[in-house]
Amino acid sequence: MDSELQARVSAWIEQDVDPEAQAELRALLEAGDEAELSERFAGPLTFGTAGLRGVIGAGETRMNRAVVIRTSYGLGQALLARDAGYRERGVVIGYDGRRGSKVFAEDTAGVLAALGFTVRLSDKVCPTPLLAYAVTHFEAAAGVMVTASHNPPEYNGYKVYAHNGAQIVPPWDGEIAGQIEQAPAAKDVARLSLAEASEQGKLETFGEALDELYLADVLALASGEPPAGRGELSLVYTPMHGVGLHLLDLALKRGGYTNLHVVAEQAEPDGEFPTLRFPNPEEPGALDLAKALAEQHSADLILANDPDADRLACVVRAASGELVPLTGNEIGVLLGSYLIQRDPAPADRPRLTLASIVSSPQLGTYAAAHGVEYAETLTGFKWIANDALTALAERNALFVFGYEEAIGFTVGEVVRDKDGIGAALILCELVATLKQEGKTLLDRLEELHRETGCYVSSQRSTVFPGQEGSETMAKIMESLRQDPPSELAGIAVAAFRDYQVGLRTPAGGAPEPLTLPKSNVLVWELEGGDRIIARPSGTEPKIKFYFDVREPVAADEALEAARTRAEERMGRLQEAFVALAQG
């Protein structure tokens, strides 16, 4: 085994605080597993604008107590460098039901309390939107949510919120990362036990009282005249072994949606996710148990949260009786258009909707036709929330709705992040309203496609695990950046956007600056309004390609005819672009 690697591993073992992690690394050393150790010591787990996310295990590139302790120290030092008064404002900490989440949250609390911060720790597992809500409610300096959202069971993560209740954006990430680099070894970072922190007045807990405040504000998002038939709406729900059931159940029942059936096998938090390999409601087969329960109860709608309840998926029953899953883009345009239609424009405030650049442009088309501002942000809900707050501060804008195609939605200004619970309440309201009119969500989608044009969106992604995978993704993006195509599948490229350099270059024209922050995202605008986007995932080892096609619908033609034309063109674009990307 390489002597330098062996020395690094031995030093890490010496500096760790977790006997189990130390034993794990010693066993790998004794087995001479150089490949595995090289992977675990390929460099520190990167702290970015999503915080940390990685596979649970011992070593510097894994999620473990040593990494969390040093990260918490770095966070505390970064906060103090900005404002020593942040100690009194404190930090709120929540955690989900994944393996290690509670221990990681308690270590975070101990480190920050030792640095003099007032710490508020959830007294039980909690959804991510509740933690985001807690930041603004307590007027905290920051928040930490220990979760890996919808990642596979072997992952966990560490998400950081700024004092405004939104996830951090640059330069926060760089400041925290810089402080982590200077942090002492984990064993040398001072920590208080929870008992010590409590005795010193540095630790409080939050729980049921905050739940009630959150629920009251979420329920206030509902219509002042809720649909009369909401109690008859038959609903099936799964939290996917996550933490959403308690609050979603209360929100729906208090909102009058009392006919709720929960998937029993997935009702309780379980970090092993025994019925799922990928606890993501968008994954094939993930909703099979929910569909079976829906058939048993003739349900109108299936609702599914991911394990930390910040995302929302749904399956609707068509008039034919078939259960049809909706995409994030379809849910986004349904919710956004409903809220625009439901709530009249105030006399003195512009209304604003936001979506990430990889989301379908359809909501923007609808919003423009109804006098509502629409803007795109970089991928990641942190940008949606922060851009909404900027618009609120600078122009007194009324933030109506924001979404990203990866089934992330937020309604109004209650939670400054994705909220799968608040979004579920409004979606049920829409379904119940349509049912009174003899319509389904699918009927409403057809109406929207006829108004805006038929939009079809799809995504292709390829996983590239490990350090070698990261290098491969970088090469693919650089190749596309350096030699962008002028046409794809016979369709001319009207303009090429490179957010890394901040330029949009029209075909045959001079480059012009882009207004969004720099990011590793490439966009091809095609003649006729179609679009292709390429970007590496910020949370998973994969590269993603997004395709959007818009096809006009004639007044006298069946929607399916326009959809068929759009999907045929989509297939040609996918084939041409994936072949180009693969070289």
Domain edge (last residue) among 452, 486, 502: 452
The whole-number pLDDT of residue 529 equals 86
Please list, in sequence order, all residues whose beta carbon lies within 8 angstroms of the beta carbon of residue 427, skipping any fewer than 6 positions away.
Answer: 301, 303, 312, 314, 331, 334, 335
3-state secondary structure of 206: strand
Here the tokens at position 200 are 């010193």
Q: Give the burial class of 198: count Cβ atoms within 10 A of its Cβ; 0-12 exposed, 13-18 middle, 19 or more buried.
A: middle
329 and 468 together in one domain = no
* H/E segment holding residue 273: none
Q: CA of 437: how far to CAs of 4, 230, 389, 433, 444, in Å?
A: 71, 13, 36, 7, 11
Between CA 57 and CA 463, with CA 537 as vertex, the angle to 5 degrees is 70
The whole-number pLDDT of residue 464 equals 83
pLDDT tens per residue across span 64-123: 999 999 999 999 999 999 999 999 999 999 999 999 999 999 999 999 999 999 999 999
474 and 410 together in one domain = no
pLDDT tens per residue across span 233-290: 999 999 999 999 999 999 999 999 999 999 999 999 999 999 998 999 999 999 999 9
Q: CA of 490: how far to CAs of 486, 523, 577, in Å?
A: 10, 17, 11
The whole-number pLDDT of residue 483 equals 87
Q: Give the burial class of 70: count Cβ atoms within 10 A of its Cβ; 0-12 exposed, 13-18 middle, 19 or more buried.
A: buried
Please list, in sequence order, all residues whose beta carbon lies within 8 angstroms of the beta carbon of residue 367, skipping any fewer than 6 positions away.
Answer: 336, 340, 353, 373, 374
State how beta strands 142-146 and 155-161 pair.
Answer: antiparallel
Domain edge (last residue) among 185, 206, 227: 206
The whole-number pLDDT of residue 539 equals 64
Q: How far apart are CA 514 and CA 518, in angstroms?
A: 9
Largest distance between two CA atoms of the chain: 74
Domain edge (last residue) among 419, 452, 485: 452
531 and 547 Cβ atoms separated by less than 8 Å: yes
251 and 288 together in one domain = yes
Domain count, the chain: 3
Please list, in sequence order, all residues whose beta carbon lies within 8 angstroms of the beta carbon of residue 288, skipping any fewer than 6 positions away.
Answer: none
Here the tokens at position 80 are 């103090």
- The CATH number linked to 533 is 3.30.310
Question: SS3 sequence, 222-262?
Answer: CCCCCCHHHHHCCEEEECCCCCCHHHHHHHHHHCCCCCEEE
Q: Which of 72, 101, 149, 457 is catalytic?
A: 149
244 and 380 together in one domain = yes
191 and 219 together in one domain = no
243 and 375 together in one domain = yes
pLDDT tens per residue across span 251-267: 999 999 999 999 999 99
Q: How far apart are CA 404 and CA 219, in angstroms?
A: 23
Here the tokens at position 382 are 């942190």
430 and 335 together in one domain = yes
3-state secondary structure of 535: strand
* 418 conformational bin, left if phi > 0, alpha if psi -120 to 50, beta if neither: beta
- The residue range of the domain holding 522 is 454-581
* H/E segment holding residue 101: helix 101-114
468 and 443 together in one domain = no
Listed residue (461, 538, 512, 522) closest to 488, CA to CA? 522
State how beta strands 235-238 and 260-262 pair.
Answer: parallel
360 is catalytic: no
> To the nearest 10°, the Cα dihedral for 341, 347, 348, 350?
20
395 and 500 together in one domain = no
How confident is the chain (583 residues) per 10-residue block, as mean pLDDT?
Answer: 91 97 97 95 88 96 98 98 96 98 98 98 98 98 97 96 96 96 98 98 98 98 93 97 98 98 98 95 96 98 98 96 97 98 91 96 96 94 94 92 97 97 98 96 97 94 80 89 92 96 94 93 93 85 92 94 97 92 79
Residue 307, preceding bond cis, omega within 30 degrees?
no
497 and 352 together in one domain = no
459 and 448 together in one domain = no
The whole-number pLDDT of residue 401 equals 98
- The CATH number linked to 103 is 3.40.120.10
259 and 184 together in one domain = no
Alpha helices in 483-558 (DSSP H): none
